[in-house]
Structure 1
Amino acid sequence: MDGVIVAGGNGSGNAFNQLSYPLGFSVDEAGTLYIADWNNSRIVEWKQEAKFGTVVAGDNGRGDRNDQFHYVTDVIVDKNRNCLYICDLENKRIVEWSRRGATSGKTIIKGAMCYGFTMDEDGFLYICDFERHEVRKWKIGDTQGTLVAGGKGMGDELDQLNCPVSVAVDQNYSVYVSDQRNHRVVKWIACMDRGKLVAGDGKVGKTLSQLWNPQKILVDQFGTIIIADSGNNRVIRWKKDAKEGTIVVGGRRKDSEEHQLDSPIGLSLDSNGNLYVSEWQSHRVQKFEIDNSIFS
Structure 2
Amino acid sequence: MPSACSPLLKAIPICLILTACGGGDGESATTPPPSATQPVAPIGTPVSPVSPVAPIAPATYTIAGTVTGLLDYGSLTLLNNGADPIVQTADGGFSFSVPVAAGGAYAVSVNARPLWQSCSVADGSGLANGNVTGVSVSCAVAQSMVSSIAGAITAGYVNGTGSAASFRQPSGMARDASGNLYVADYGNHVIRKIAPGGVVTTLAGTGSPGHVDGMAGSAKFVTPVGIAVAASGNIYVAEFYGNDIRKITPGGIVTTLAGSATAGSSDGVGASASFNNPLGITVDANENVYVADYSNNIIRKITPAGVVTTLAGTTTAGSDNGSATLATFNGPSGIALSASGTLYVAEWFNSDIRQISPAGVVTTLAGSGATGSDDGVGTAATFSLPVGMAIGTNGVLYVADDGNNLIRMVTPAGVVATLAGSLNPGSTDGPGSIAMFNQPSGIAVDTSGNLYVADQANNLIRNVAPNP
Common fold by TM > 0.5: yes
Q: Quote the residue 2:363 is aligned against.
A: 196
Question: How high is the sequence identity, in percent, across the aligned residues?
Answer: 21
Deviation at 1:245, TM superposition (A): 1.7
Q: Is the 8 A contact 2:350 2:369 kept in 1?
A: yes
Q: Is the 8 A contact 2:148 2:460 kept in 1?
A: yes
Match of 1:269 among 445, 450, 453: 445
Structure having greater relative contact order (Cα 8 Å, sep ≥ 6): 1
Deviations along 1:126-153, one digit per CA (max 9) or x if unpaired, are: 11111211112221113332x3221242
Alignment of 1:50-199 (within 5 A): 50=198, 52-66=199-213, 67-80=219-232, 82-100=233-251, 102=252, 105-110=254-259, 111-112=274-275, 113-145=277-309, 147-158=310-321, 159-192=327-360, 195-199=362-366
Point out the more displaced range, 123-132 or 8-17.
8-17
Deviation at 1:109, TM superposition (A): 1.4
The answer to whether residue 181 in structure 2 is matched with residue 14 in structure 1 is no
Distance in 1 (CA, whole Å) between partners of 2:342 and 2:411 is 16
Q: Is the 8 A contact 1:43 1:57 kept in 2?
A: yes
Match of 1:236 among 408, 414, 418: 408
Deviation at 1:43, TM superposition (A): 0.3
5+ residue gaps, structure 2, are 1-143, 160-164, 214-218, 260-273, 322-326, 376-380, 430-434
Distance in 1 (CA, whole Å) between partners of 2:191 and 2:404 is 27
Match of 1:48 among 167, 187, 196: 196
Q: Quote the residue 1:218 is aligned against.
A: 390
Q: Quote the residue 1:257 is aligned against.
A: 428
Give the secondary structure class of the aligned counterpart of 1:195: strand
Name the CA shift for 1:224/1:122 in 2 (closer, same or farther; >3 Å). same
Q: Quote the residue 1:2 is aligned against.
A: 145
Q: Quote the residue 1:29 is aligned against.
A: 177
Name the CA shift for 1:219/1:46 in 2 (closer, same or farther; >3 Å). closer
Q: Is the 8 A contact 1:148 1:175 kept in 2?
A: no
What is the identity, as a one-letter code, of the residue corresponding to 2:189?
S
Distance in 2 (CA, whole Å) between partners of 1:241 and 1:48 is 33
Distance in 2 (CA, whole Å) between partners of 1:79 and 1:195 is 27
Q: Is the 8 A contact 1:6 1:49 kept in 2?
A: no
Match of 2:416 among 227, 245, 248: 245
Deviation at 1:117, TM superposition (A): 0.7
Deviation at 1:174, TM superposition (A): 2.0
Q: Is the 8 A contact 1:235 1:251 kept in 2?
A: no
Deviation at 1:157, TM superposition (A): 2.5
Deviations along 1:108-130, one digit per CA (max 9) or x if unpaired, are: 11223321111112221111111
What is the identity, as a one-letter code, of the residue corresponding to 1:35?
V
Deviation at 1:89, TM superposition (A): 2.1
Deviations along 1:77-101, one digit per CA (max 9) or x if unpaired, are: 2342x3321112222211111233x
Name the CA shift for 1:78/1:220 in 2 (closer, same or farther; >3 Å). closer
Q: Is the 8 A contact 2:392 2:445 kept in 1?
A: no
Q: Is the 8 A contact 1:109 1:141 kept in 2?
A: no
Structure with the bigger percentage of helix: 2
Distance in 2 (CA, whole Å) between partners of 1:54 and 1:219 is 26
What is the identity, as a one-letter code, of the residue corresponding to 1:20?
R
Give the RMSD, CA atoms, in angstroms.
2.0
Give the secondary structure class of the aligned counterpart of 1:3: strand
What is the identity, as a one-letter code, of the residue corresponding to 1:157?
D
Q: State the TM-score, normalized to the length of structure 2.
A: 0.57
Q: Is the 8 A contact 2:145 2:467 kept in 1?
A: no
